């Protein structure tokens, strides 16, 4: 069986582990710096196995060496947003956490694909790439799957239909400048524009952009974890099972969509090698402008990163 390691045993990491176990995707290791936290959650998951009828080994450790031999590593460690906190406010703390974790990944799991969940996602993915020294296809930010599933739910709620009938694609940075592509959004195969008027679609797009913040405002302390955990597990499954599944993910661009040297959410095929292919689709002028604005916001985050971050 494949091995997946999740770094960070907080809400997002633990939820991802649960979904991975539920589908018996892989043996799972949880690693966290808090003594006893990953061990306790791993044991709790094992106690659940007879009821939920999964049979995978789940272990917890405070030692990074436990990730040795992993096929996929999911990085969730970091602090969460608080109300009124912009994603970039997280940067300095989470960069240091990601730096330490990435160096451990490079040492103990040099052949792994890394799914990055820690925010600010697109910038943290850059840190992981630099610190691991991995091939570009091996470092993948979890963004589009989460943003698309929120968009899909909001549409389903509006129409009163089964959420699984909705297909959607969301590009761009993981934040308020994300770009839901309404032309590529459908309900049971029917274009969304045939079922909802333009004003309603725009309202749902806006709610999608602010979906994470909406949950933060309710929680007061902390952020979403069920949907992020499920989204990370979905990406892990596509890689472990070599599904070559078409999803949106934050990947390092080298000229695709007119952008160079940043992580940005675009359609990709996910398989055993990580990013098997970046898919370039035709965009309208409006979509292109929105994607460029999103890329600009990511570049500003990278520029901020450069003011204090030194690789190694």
Catalytic residues: 174
Residues 6+ apart with CB under 8 A from 44: none
Phi, psi of 154, deg, nearest 5:
-60, -40
For residues 240 and 132, what is the distance between their CA atoms, to the nearest angstrom?
20
Whether 266 and 247 have beta carbons less than 8 Å apart is answered as no
Contacting residues for 192 by C-beta, under 8 A, at least 6 apart: 155, 182, 185, 186, 201
Tell me the pairing of strands 27-31 and 3-7: parallel
Q: Which two tokens stand for residue 202?
A: 């725009």
Give the closest residue to 211 by CA, choosing from 131, 151, 285: 151
| Packed helices 11-22 and 37-52: angle between N→C axes, nearest 10 degrees | 30
């Amino acid at each position: 069986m494949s091995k997946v390691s999740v770094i960070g045993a907080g809400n997002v990491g633990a939820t991802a582990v649960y979904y991975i176990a539920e589908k018996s995707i892989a043996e799972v290791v949880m690693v966290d710096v808090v003594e006893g936290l990953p061990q306790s959650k791993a044991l709790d998951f094992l106690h659940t196995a007879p009821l939920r009828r999964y049979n995978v080994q789940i272990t917890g450790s405070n030692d990074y060496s436990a990730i040795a031999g992993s096929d996929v590593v999911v990085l969730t460690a970091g602090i969460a947003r608080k109300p009124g906190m912009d994603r970039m406010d997280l940067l300095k703390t989470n960069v240091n956490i990601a730096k330490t974790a990435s160096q451990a990944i490079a040492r103990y799991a040099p052949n792994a694909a890394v799914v990055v969940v820690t925010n600010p996602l697109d910038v943290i993915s850059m840190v992981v790439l630099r610190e691991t020294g991995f091939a570009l296809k091996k470092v993948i930010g979890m963004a589009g799957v989460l943003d698309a599933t929120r968009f899909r739910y909001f549409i389903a709620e509006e129409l009163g239909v089964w959420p699984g009938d909705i297909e959607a694609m969301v590009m761009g940075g993981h934040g308020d400048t994300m770009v839901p592509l309404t032309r590529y959004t459908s309900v049971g195969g029917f274009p969304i524009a045939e079922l909802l008027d333009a004003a309603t679609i725009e309202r749902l797009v806006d709610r999608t952009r602010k979906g994470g913040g909406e949950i933060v405002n309710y929680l007061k302390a902390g952020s979403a974890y069920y949907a992020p955990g499920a989204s990370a597990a979905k990406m892990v499954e596509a890689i472990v099972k070599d599904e070559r599944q078409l999803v949106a993910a934050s990947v390092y661009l080298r000229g695709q969509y007119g952008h160079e040297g940043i992580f940005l959410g675009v359609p990709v095929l996910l398989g055993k090698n990580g990013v098997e292919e970046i898919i370039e689709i035709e965009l309208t002028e409006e979509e292109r402008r929105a994607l460029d604005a999103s890329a600009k916001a990511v570049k500003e985050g990278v520029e901020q990163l450069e003011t204090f971050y030194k690789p190694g």
